[in-house]
Chain A
Amino acid sequence: MSRDHVLHKVRTALGRSAGQALEPVPEAGIEIPEVFIEARIDQFCEAFEALNGKTYRAASLAEARATVESILAGRTAIASNAPLLTEIGITTLPKVQSGLADRLDLREACSTAGAGITSADYVLADTGTLVMFSSTEEARMISLLPPAHIAVVRRERFLTGLDELLTREPIPSNRSSSMVLITGPSRTADIEQILVRGVHGPGEIHAVVL
């Protein structure tokens, strides 16, 4: 059996035996800075915009709805099943489809929609990152297929950075089969190291902070 064969070779190479104790594991070196929520939001906006993303602040649900409507500017969109989006009333905006539960229907809709609207589970302030777990509320394709991605996030979700995320979610796989960190619009520099945005994922991203 290949498994036994490979494990045996590994053990022989290292001079270890099956079931031998593990040497002490080095520190992970997690460090979480102290940053007030307002500062986190400012930092996020700066980082996000440096990546060519656009940020907006909304003081109320109504304002959030209006902001998303103006970002859409008449485009068709797919909204995820995040309760926040329903709460804000985004799902009732014109040309916005939501509530899709079938994988193929969703994919079909996403490939023709002008934008995908989602919430986000967390936001990382220092790198300008949106963190999304795949779930009944959030499908993978909505933030991936359409050429534009609009994320509406509550301020409470803002973390200082990766270290804090991994402290909150030390075993991300306990929660979902997929956790994705989105840091800016899709891009490539594969030809002559010249930057082009919107290669496969969305070339346009927006974050509305509630």
Chain B
Amino acid sequence: MSTIGSSDPHLTRAGLARLDGQVSLDELHGRDQGQAAGLEQLRDTGPAPQARPATDAGEDVLNAAAWEGIPAGERLLAGDQDFEAQLGAMELSGAADSAADAILSAIG
């Protein structure tokens, strides 16, 4: 059990340098005992660790079907003429922002 990473200001590198050997690592270790006991009690009561999924959620997205049931040759992106005209009337930066928002809103 380590207190490294705790919020104890003595345990920054600068804080340890200021102690200049006046405290041993055993003493630092001793400060942990109460906390360690508490954690031991928690060990048996916490939820079981979750197994890492066999496939990444991103891989499932890559494999998500998009054109099933639509025959080859008919897989066309007709475009949204109104949306295109609306963006075309905007200045470029605003249009790029609106475009990103609209694309995201299509996929929830």
A binds B: no
Chain A residues within CB distance 8 Å of chain B? none
